[in-house]
A and B are shown apart, each in its own frame.
Chain A
Amino acid sequence: MVQKPGPTPREAPNVGLFVTCLVDTMRPSIGFAAITLLEAAGCRVEAPLDQTCCGQPALNAGDRDGAAQVARRTIALLEPFDAVVVPSGSCAATIKIHYPELFHDDPAWKARAEALGARTYELLSYLADQRGWLPDQVALGATATYHDSCSGLRELGVHAQPRRLLAAVEGLALRPLAGSDTCCGFGGTFCVKYPAISNAIVGEKAGHVEATGAELLLGGDLGCLMNMAGKLHRTGSGVRAFHTAEILAGMGTGPAIGELP
């Protein structure tokens, strides 16, 4: 079980959960884990129904106008919240870092983007840094290794927080991963635009994951996790992959990525 809320409801921040397209379609359990964790950390959580995508497909393709159109609607949708929390480093960094860059020539929207960016967080770092929350009475007897997804690591400084949170899970032993800070080869649309290069990169990554001997592969970005888990499964590996939020929310005994309920 996870810790009960500490602060009184009056102090509880209104958190807008931006679930991300991949979590919405591929693994909703991560979204529900995020709600459980945020509530345990004393937040009131709402996932606004009209959210869509953060805009990365356009942003990374160079379609700045398209990205800005999507950004304007996402900003307007999320502005009412005290904080916006995203269970993905790359989608959080898009809102926090890249939205303001889209409005060079538009001071009014730039100001709104910056204001929203200032209170937008990646889930695990929000729990650890902003809420000072640690899991309590969460247990999982397993060995695991952790991959640092690049956007979270380099754009948002997410590195110590997930390890601190996971260290508080009883029975979970973390094993170091060689090259844990090296890209897994996902890169959003990169992995399907340049599949041969992506395959070479994730092949090497899968080898490093296997070499840890850990039972579980954990991370904070579903895209990277799907890439690595998909490669591990294709190569016959038994390593099972979870989003860290699922482990922290006590879902680590349930189905891993690619397992049927």
Chain B
Amino acid sequence: MSARRSFDARVRDALADPHLKIAIERTTGNARTKRAAAILSWPSYPAVRDLARDIKDHVIANLDHYLVQFERNALASGAQVHWARTGQEACAIVVDICRKAGVRSATRAKSMLGEEIGLPHALADAGIERVETDLAEHIIQLAGDPPSHIVWPALHKTREQVRALFLARHHDPGALETVEAMVASARRELRARFQAADAGISGANFLIADTGAICTVTNEGNAELTTTLPRIHIVTAGIEKLVPSTAHAMALLRPLVRSATGAELTQYTTFHCGPKRAGDRDGPDAFHIVLVDGGRTRMLDEGLAEMLRCLRCGACLNHCVVYRHIGGHAYGGTYPGPMGSVLTPIFDGLPQTRDLAQACTLNGQCQEVCPVAIPLPTLLRGWRDRSWREGLEPATVRWAVRAWRFVALRPALFRLVNSVAVRAMPLFARGGWIRRMPLAGGWTDHRDLPRPAARTFMAQYRSQRP
């Protein structure tokens, strides 16, 4: 995917792809149905949601305290803690750890932070073999695609497309006539590489301050193989993943998993605390935790603190009418959908990404389904305000809004303009509808425009009044 191509061009490609809508709808439709059922049968959800929001807000307001506490406890557990101001620094730290330890091959458990900081590229540049072990990540690694969803990164591929990919790229695929056969083929492909890896790299769903442990939630068990088999385990995590205690992690886990998949729990919820101790049967010899700022403290300064609540559940993507039609790649950033439209300008700059906040109907469903009540439409409006202030909006939009304002502040002119409009528009009508009209292509290219009434409401109302 080329970030240099325009948003409109990416949207055009997405809408022209006949498989994409089918693929998106299969996964997100299923997720919406299951989430709705889970929430419906969970009477305490509103209270749980308030609690989850309050926990995140408390941590965000006290990041300095919990970061220091986490570091102290992680060090005490035998972990090594690294601090990275930027994604590049974080990648450099990971590569440095790998080089010093002679790592040639690293397995990775799916981590959106890893994508955000560009870790796949950094590993490739350093000549370290990267093996994606999450099934969906394995699919997109074979296809050379970036993720298109934060929970199901290969959601843009139909199972038919995955079958073709595996047939072409797996060493011993067999016939692959069922989904089970496809999973088994991926298992065969990955098994030896799990065992051969020198390092395992994961993210973290939670950083637990009072124990120094990290928590990962997965459904495939690949994270456990990634983090326990190799001699080194490296965690990269955003600093907003902190929670005060394991109990707080549990309080967030419940709405996180239900919002993501509708399940009560993921198949695997694993707490990793320090490296292998004397007498432990397995676990890594060295356990590194890289804490990444990567724009997060800047979000605090720029009025986006509420976005740091995000648990990365993907519910806002699954319920977004825009995401559901254009898919993740059209957004052009690491994170798509409503949460991505708020985050991407922070990472990639507003001038390059101004379309994201605009390409939204502000319908509010994202906020409604967010398990930590992030006011996503308000935050998107914030980017729109800034884009306007910084003069990033196209001249045509600026001119149109200014002209509208001039008229809206002058009632007599407003009435005149409307009266002229309702007289002019019928010239283009056939019967009650207008199929084409100059300057209205945005509307009439796709739908008919009703013919306006012969006289405006105000004109009729005025003449009726005594």
Q: Does B215 contact A (CB under 8 A)?
A: no
B368 lies within 8 A of chain A by Cβ: yes
Contact B404 A57 (CB under 8 A): yes
Q: A260 contacts B431, CB within 8 Å?
A: yes
User: How many angstroms between the C-alpha atoms of A25 and B407 in the bound complex?
Assistant: 15
Contact B385 A62 (CB under 8 A): yes
Residues of chain A within 8 A (CB-CB) of B178 are: none
Residue of A nearest to B357 (CB): A62
The answer to whether A21 and B450 have CB atoms under 8 Å apart is no
Please name 10 pairs of A and B residues whose Cβ atoms are closer than 8 Å in the assembled complex, sorted by A.
A25-B453, A52-B407, A52-B414, A61-B384, A151-B362, A190-B358, A195-B446, A196-B446, A226-B449, A230-B450
Instruction: Assess whether A66 is interfacial by the CB under 8 Å rule.
Output: yes
Report A109 CB to chain B, min CB distance, Å: 16
Are B457's CB and A53's CB within 8 A?
Answer: no
Q: Cα distance A57–B447 when bound, in Å?
A: 21
Which candidate, A6-14, A120-128, A158-166, A198-206, is the interface stretch facing chain B? Answer: A198-206
Tell me if B365 is interfacial: C-beta within 8 Å of chain A.
yes
- Judge whether A197 and B325 touch: CB under 8 Å: yes
Enumerate B440-463 residues with CB–CB distance to A below 8 Å. 440-443, 445-453, 455-458, 460-462
User: How many angstroms between the C-alpha atoms of A173 and B461 in the bound complex?
Assistant: 33
Question: 5 new A-B pairs (CB below 8 Å) besides A183-B365, A193-B359?
Answer: A26-B452, A52-B407, A190-B358, A190-B360, A260-B431
Could you tell me the distance in whole angstroms from the C-beta of A50 to the nearest C-beta in chain B?
A: 4
B446 x A187 contact (CB < 8 A): no
Binds B, one of A28-36, A133-141, A207-215, A246-254: A28-36
- B442 with A53: CB separation less than 8 A: no
CB distance from B399 to the nearest CB of A (A): 11
User: Chain B residue with minimal CB distance to A19?
Assistant: B457
9-residue interface stretch from B69-77, B217-225, B387-395 = B387-395
Contacts A61-B397, A226-B449, A230-B450 given; does A196 touch B460 at CB 8 Å: no
Question: Cα distance A19–B384 when bound, in Å?
Answer: 27
* B401 and A24 contact, CB distance less than 8 A: no
Smallest CB separation, A119 vs chain B (Å): 22
B401 touches A61 (CB 8 A): yes
Q: How many A-B residue pairs have CB under 8 A?
A: 199
- In Å, the complex CA distance between A69 and B409 comes to 8
Residues of B within 8 A of A187 (CB): 360-363
Quote the shortest CB–CB distance from B365 to chain A (angstroms).
7
Given A62-B386, A197-B322, A255-B432, is A154 in contact with B447 using a C-beta cutoff of 8 Å?
no
Q: Which of B400, B433, B455 neighbours the largest number of chain A CB atoms within 10 Å of its CB?
A: B433
**Is B37 located at the chain interface by the 8 A CB criterion?**
no
Alpha-carbon distance between A182 and B441 when the two chains are bound, in angstroms? 25
Task: Flag whether A233 is at the interface (Cβ < 8 A).
Answer: yes
B352 within 8 A of A: no
Minimum distance in angstroms from A42 CB to a CB of chain B: 21
| B325 surroundings in chain A (CB, below 8 A) | 197, 200-201, 204
Question: A51 contacts the other chain (Cβ, under 8 Å)?
Answer: yes
By CB atoms of chain B within 10 A, which of A26, A66, A73, A181 has the most? A26
Interface residues of A in 175-197 (CB under 8 A from B): 181-183, 185-188, 190-197
User: For residue A50, which residue of chain B has the nearest CB?
Assistant: B411
- Nearest B residue to A21, CB-CB: B418
Instruction: Tell which of B11, B359, B409 touches A70, judged by Cβ atoms closer than 8 Å.
Output: B409
Q: Are B457 and A24 in contact (CB under 8 A)?
A: yes
Q: Tell which of A58, A69, A193 touches B442, judged by Cβ atoms closer than 8 Å.
A: A193
- Looking at the assembled complex, report how far the CB atom of A218 sits from the nearest CB atom of chain B, in whole angstroms: 16
Residues of B bordering A, CB below 8 Å = 8, 11-12, 15, 21, 321-322, 325-326, 358-365, 367-368, 381, 383-389, 393, 397, 400-402, 404-405, 407-411, 414, 418, 421-422, 431-433, 435, 440-443, 445-453, 455-458, 460-462
User: Which chain B positions have C-beta within 8 A of A27?
Assistant: 450, 452-453
Of B358, B363, B433, the residue contacting A150 (CB under 8 A) is B363
List of B residues within 8 angstroms of A181 by Cβ: 365
- The minimal Cβ–Cβ distance linking B400 to chain A, given in whole angstroms, is 8
A55 within 8 A of B: yes
- Measured between alpha carbons, how far is A201 from B360 in the docked complex, in Å? 12
**Could you tell me which residues of chain A, from 53 to 75, have a CB within 8 Å of some CB in chain B?**
53, 55, 57-58, 60-64, 66, 69-70, 73
Shortest Cβ distance from A200 into B: residue: B325
Contact status A63-B442, CB under 8 Å: no
| A230-B359 CB under 8 A given contacts A52-B407, A60-B384 | no
A28/B409 contact (C-beta < 8 A), A190-B360, A197-B322 known: no
* Complex contact A28–B432 (CB within 8 A): no
Q: CB distance A58 to B418 under 8 Å? A: no
With both beta carbons as reference points, the residue of chain B lying nearest to A35 in the complex is identified as: B461
Chain A: CB-nearest residue to B413: A52
Residues of chain B within 8 A (CB-CB) of A233 are 433, 447-448
Known: A57-B404, A195-B445, A226-B449. A260 touches B418 (CB 8 A): no
Given contacts A61-B388, A62-B388, A62-B389, contact A229 B461 (CB under 8 A): no
- Does the CB pair A197–B448 fall under 8 Å? no
The interface residues of chain A lying within 8 Å CB-to-CB of B321 are: 182-183, 185, 201
